[in-house]
Each structure stands twice: as structure tokens, then as C-alpha cells.
Amino acid sequence: MPLQLVPQYLNPPLTPCHITFGTYGTRLHGGVRPAVDKQHNQRHTSFILRDPDRQEFEQSRMRFSTRVLTLEQRIFTEAVLPAICERGGWKFRNCAAESNHVHLLCDVVPDVHGEKVRRLVKRWLGQRLCEQWKVPHGATWLAEEGSNIAV
């Protein structure tokens, strides 16, 4: 008797993942805009408090100027994210690109951690942005971290 696969094993259930990341230098720790760090990145925890000294320190560490997405770059970002999700094997749901951050909602297999998805999305999106708009050698479009929450 031939082995028959149960349909649920062919298509494992997917986990919705909300991924958010900022553009380089736009949400410095200690600034007036809400931000999180490794101690403030869990649900229901407060944002980092305003701290001008910390903001100044973070700004002094920046190697390149702040990146703010133009309307054209935001439209481009939203246009390429579905293909980036397809490349990664994730099901694209929706996205929104703002001048200083990007939101992506996609479905991933439970075995893949959202942090890995976020890192790949940022890498591939940054590459696509650099193909269209050149930046100085070593510069980046996107902030170092971000969030990935299974919803």
C-alpha cells in the first residue's frame, strides 16, 4: 500500500508575524520618539525614557547620516516586499512603509523564528534600495534592530 501524506503535513500551519524596523538613525535610544532596546522589547513593557545624554551618545556613534525614505522610496519598498516574502518562502499579507520605519505582516512556518525573517527582509530590502539609490560605501538604509512579534 503506497504511503499517503496527510494534507496538514504537506502544508504546515503558518504563524502570522508582524515585523517592524526603522531606517538608519531615525529612532535613537533616549530620543523623543518611542524606542525599544534589549531590555524594553517585550509586550507590555514601557518604551525607553527620554534621555538626552543617551541620545547624544547614540548620535555620536553614527557613522553615516540619517536615512529618511522619500515617497518614491516608500512606494518602492511596498512594491518589493511581496517578492522578498516570496523569495524567503513566507506568505505576504500586508506592509506599510513610512519615512522612518517599515511594517510587514507575513505568515511563516513555526520552525522559522521571526528574527531570522526580519534579518533577511532587511538584508534583501537594503540590497534592493541600494540598487536604485546609491549610498556611501558601508552605509545602510535600515536600523540595526527591529521587532518581530508572532500574532
Q: Is the pLDDT of residue 31 over 80?
A: no
Average pLDDT across the chain, whole number: 87
Residue-wise over 5-30: b if at least 16 C-beta within 10 A, else e? eeeeeeeeeebebbbbbbbbbbbbbb
Whether pLDDT at 67 is above 90 = yes
Say if 142 falls within a structural domain.
Answer: yes
Q: Does the pLDDT of residue 114 top 60, yes or no?
A: yes
- Does the pLDDT at position 53 exceed 90? no
95, 104, 25, 96: which is closest to 67 by C-alpha? 25
> Does residue 50 sit within a domain?
no
Q: What is the pLDDT of residues 93-111, one digit of tens each?
A: 999 999 999 999 999 988 8
For residue 75, the domain's CATH number is 3.30.70.1290
Rounded to two decimals, what is the model's pTM?
0.82
When pLDDT is averaged across residues 41-49 and rounded to a whole number, the result is: 70
Q: Is residue 55 part of a domain?
A: no
Residue with cell 535613537: 28
Axis-axis angle for helices 114-132, 71-88 (nearest 10) = 130
Residue 73 lies in a domain: yes
Domain that holds residue 138: 7-25+62-150
Residue 2, domain member (yes or no) = no
Who wins on pLDDT, 148 or 82?
Answer: 82
Tell me how many domains the chain contains. 1
What pLDDT sits at residue 43? 67
Rg (CA), the chain: 18
pLDDT band for position 1 (cuts 50, 70, 90): low
Question: What percent of the chain lies above the pLDDT cut of 90?
Answer: 56
Would you say 100 and 23 are in contact if contact means Cβ atoms under 8 Å apart? yes
